[in-house]
Amino acid sequence: MKQIKAFIHPHRISLVTDVLRNSGLCDITAGTRCHNLTVSNVQRLFSSADAAQQRYSVALGEPVIGEIKLELFCEDDVADQLAALIAQAAKPGPGWVFVSEIEHATQIV
């Protein structure tokens, strides 16, 4: 099993989730091949080349940029394809896609 984490520009997240939904590789409603697709609003520290995207966080005392973190768990055989779909759908925008190995998973029912 693999974990995919992607940090995506907020304006691209709906396209990314549509691409995942329509790919046929990630049917989260059936609970097969993809599990626990989540999205979260996050703040990336440091400045941006585009000052319009940057704001100052009083709580952190730092300039930040808003991003969306997408996480999902998937079967090994679809991880590379899903990561490539996410990266392609997130363009043109800065971001990252990470794929990690999961050593053990236990479903709680």
Band (pLDDT 50/70/90 cuts) for residue 12 is very high
Residue 58 inside a domain? The answer is no
Residue 49 inside a domain? The answer is no
Q: In terms of pTM, does the model score above 0.75?
A: yes
- Alpha carbons within 13 A on the beta-carbon side of 21: 7
Specify the CATH number for the domain of residue 97. 3.30.70.120
The number of residues in the chain equals 109
Euclidean distance between CA atoms 94 and 64, whole angstroms: 14
Average pLDDT over residues 44-49: 69
Condensed to tens digits (0 to 9), the pLDDT of residues 68-97 reads 999 999 999 999 999 999 999 999 877 899
DSSP calls for 58-71: TTTTEEEEEEEEEE
Q: To the nearest whole percent, how much of the chain has pLDDT over 70?
A: 85
Residue 51 inside a domain? The answer is no
Residue 15 inside a domain? The answer is yes
Residue 60 inside a domain? The answer is no
Domain of residue 16, residue span: 2-41+68-101
The count of domains in the chain is 1
